[in-house]
Each structure stands twice: as structure tokens, then as C-alpha cells.
A and B are shown apart, each in its own frame.
Chain A
Amino acid sequence: MLLPSPFRVEIFDTLGSTHDEVLSRARLGEAGFLWIMARSQTSGRGRLGRVWQSPPGNFYASLLLYDPAPLDSIAQLGFVAGVALYDAASEISGLSNLRLKWPNDLVVGGGVKLSGLLLEAVSTPRGRAVALGFGINCATSPKGLEYKTACLNDLAGRHIPAETLLVPLSTALDVWMKVWERGQGFALVRKAWMERAANLNQIIKVRRHADVLSGIFEGLDSSGRLLLRCGKESVTIEAGDVFLI
């Protein structure tokens, strides 16, 4: 497998969590741009410790990066990763109907989810490390969740081995991280993200900590926050779960 320099990969049959492995490597001083990939995970996790079901056949990998941007721009990495994931998944599957849901979920029609990203920044002896974790449904999709799910194989009508995503994903990350320029080029990333967004200028629902808002999804502001038009008011949303209607 030929990854663009300086990316490299270690592939495991099974791991507890690729994310935890990257974080522990970071604490041991491992060099950056290392992918830890597993064919299955026994304790795959998502945001806030939620379980990420990880049977064989899907893509589970986390990338180790050091100091990808100043602290005030680091949250933009999620959009860089989302755009890269969109490009890689579109290329490998040939699908033209993939979309992004704020901030970085890959979806098809009506918000059917295909992936999840997990980004964690920690302090290490080499500086601030970021673990960028991708879970992508290739062969199967989990059932019984609060949102609908799908997998690339079903959508593309053919078998897409999870490992084949790694090269296009690394290439796309390389390209978009260079465009991003540690935050200086976020305007271009934002534009690319909005071109790939689901339900732009349509109604969406956003569940926040204390309430649920419905409104027209107007796009991203200059730092990536979601802009929702609720009647005459434009609400800027920093945190929340988005539901497409």
C-alpha cells in the first residue's frame, strides 16, 4: 500500500480501539502521520464514550497528527477531515449522492449516516497531539440507533474492501490540510464543505443542550459554526446534533 509521504500505517486484525492506540502511541512520543488501522475493534468508541460497533468489514482507523493548527483553529480540522472523507469515499465508491452533515458526518439522502469522526487533542511530550479517528461503514451498518445508517457496499452495489479507502483518504487529507494551511485557508475549506453539504438552504433540526431548533440551514460562518435562520433571526450554533428533515 503506497501512502503519500509522510503518512504510514500499521494494520491490526483486531484492537480495542484504534483511537486509544493512537493516543497511547502519542504519549510514548511516536512520530506523526501514523495511521493505526484495525479490521475490527472490541471497544470502538465514538463521541462521549458512546459505543462504535466495529464488526469486520468496515473501516476503522485513527491518524496521529501533531500541532495541526493553533488552538483557536483546531476545531476546523473536523471540516478538513469531512471534506477529505467525502472526496475519498466518492472516489472509491463512484457514488455522486454522498453529502456532508454538520460538522463532519458522511450521509446520503435524508441524513442516512455512513461514517463517524472522532477528534481528540491531548498534550504529549512532543506537543499537542490530535487523534483523528474515522469509522466508515463499508460492509455493514449498525441498526437500532436513533438515526438511519447505510453502508458503501449496498449503495455502490459492489464490494469495497475497507483497506482500499486508506490511500485516497490519506491523499485527500494531504491535499485539504495543505489548502487549510493551519487555519489560514479555512475560507476555502468552508467553501468546499458547503458545496458538499446536505440540505443547504433547506430546513434542518438542531438538538442543542437545552432545546431543539428548526430552521433554514444557511451554511457555516467564518469559523465553521452552523448558521440557522429561524424566522427573522439568524442563530449561530456552536454545538448540537443535526437532523435532516
Chain B
Amino acid sequence: MKSPLPATAKAPKTEAIDSDLVRKLAQLLNESDLAELEVEKGDLRIRVARYSSAAPQIQHYAAAAPAQQIAPAAAAAAPAAPAPSAASSENVLKSPMVGTAFRRPSPDAKAFVEIGSVVKAGDRVLLVEAMKTFNEILAHRSGTVTATSVEDGQPVEYGQALMTIE
């Protein structure tokens, strides 16, 4: 059974999040046909949403975020060290949707881009297929592809890193 993760809550810092309420909402979501549920009570707003059960893919996405957060600390410890190339999140092209990634239009065709390809913002660099609907993914910036993070046929989650363009 898929789990209703992640649950996000927006609340003032002074107010503790009611974990029982989150749990109840998650249960409600599981018992219903809804994709997401949002409640507001005073200043507290809680939204629980249903995502794919492909947990490893979520971890993949989560791995990208801390890199950005720890960058200042790393820089303080070793100011002379060059920033790791994958650290800058604005270089990372993320998936706008859940689906399956394809790097080429057909299995025997050339990939849209390879590491080292120079792209312009708006160039087609990937396809994400969601339930047989193919969506073109465009380069979010101009630059050189320095890393590709997905293979043909790989499931991707919303927000998952697809490639790095620097």
C-alpha cells in the first residue's frame, strides 16, 4: 500500500505541530480517493498528499537538497577548496512530474544530450513519460551538461534531479 508521504505542515515556529492530527489526516487520505488534503485551523495549515510508493526515488531527491545546505559550512572549513560541481542547486534540472525518464526519442536513437553537450535554455534534453503521455523536458538554463542523473526507463519522482547544466 502506498504511504501518504510526504506530509508537509506550515505553522508558526512557536506552535507545535499536532502529530495526531497529521496522522488522522493521513489515515483519512488513505481511506479516500483523494490525492491530497489540506486543512486550516487558525494559523496552522496542514497538507497531506499522496505520492508514488517508489521510496528510493524520493531519497534520491532528498540527497540533492542537503548538499546545498551544507555548502556554507564546508566552505568555512576549507575556504580554498573549489565548490563541488553538483552543489549548486540552480544548476540541477529537476523533474516537473512523476513518471519515467527517457534520454532519447526511441531506443536506437541518439540521446538528446550527453555529458559535455552545450545546450541553450529551452532545448529539449529529456522526455518524461507519465502513463504513456510523453512530456518534453527543456533545459532550464544555457550551459554545458556536466552530469546526467537518470537512465532510459528509470522512474522519476517530482523534483528529482535529472541532470546538471553548468
Contacts and interface: CB of A to CB of B under 8 A. Distances in A.
Contacts of A123: 122, 136, 138
Q: Max chain A CB contacts within 10 Å: which of B54, B102, B134?
A: B134
Contact of A48 (B33, B53, B106, B130): B106
A238 B99 contact: yes
A77 B133 contact: yes
Interface string A220-240: 011111000000011110110
B11 to A, nearest CB: 25
A160 interface: no
Interface string B121-136: 0100000011111111
A48 B102 contact: yes
A50 B114 CA distance: 23
Given A209-B153, A238-B131, A239-B129, A72 B97 contact: yes
Interface stretch (A6-14, A55-63, A114-122, A171-179): A114-122
A10 B25 CA distance: 51
A117 B134 CA distance: 11
B105 interface: yes
B153 A50 contact: no
A31 interface: no
B155 A239 contact: yes
A213 B48 CA distance: 30
B80 interface: no
Given A50-B106, A209-B100, A236 B131 contact: no
Contacts of A234: 1
Contacts, number: 89
B132 A238 contact: no
Interface residues of B, number: 34
B107 interface: yes
B16 interface: no
A19 to B, nearest CB: 11
A107 to B, nearest CB: 15
Nearest to B54: A238
Given A48-B107, A49-B106, A236 B2 contact: yes
B143 interface: no
Nearest to B107: A48
B52 A236 contact: yes
B153 A122 contact: no
A238 B155 contact: yes
A111 interface: no
A239 B57 CA distance: 15
A235 B52 CA distance: 10
Interface in B90-107: 96-100, 102, 105-107
B134 A239 contact: no
22 contacts: A48-B105, A48-B107, A49-B105, A49-B107, A50-B106, A71-B97, A72-B97, A74-B135, A77-B133, A103-B131, A103-B132, A121-B133, A122-B136, A209-B155, A221-B2, A222-B34, A222-B50, A224-B131, A233-B1, A238-B99, A238-B131, A239-B99
Interface of A: 47-50, 71-72, 74-79, 103-104, 117-123, 130, 187, 209, 221-225, 233-236, 238-239
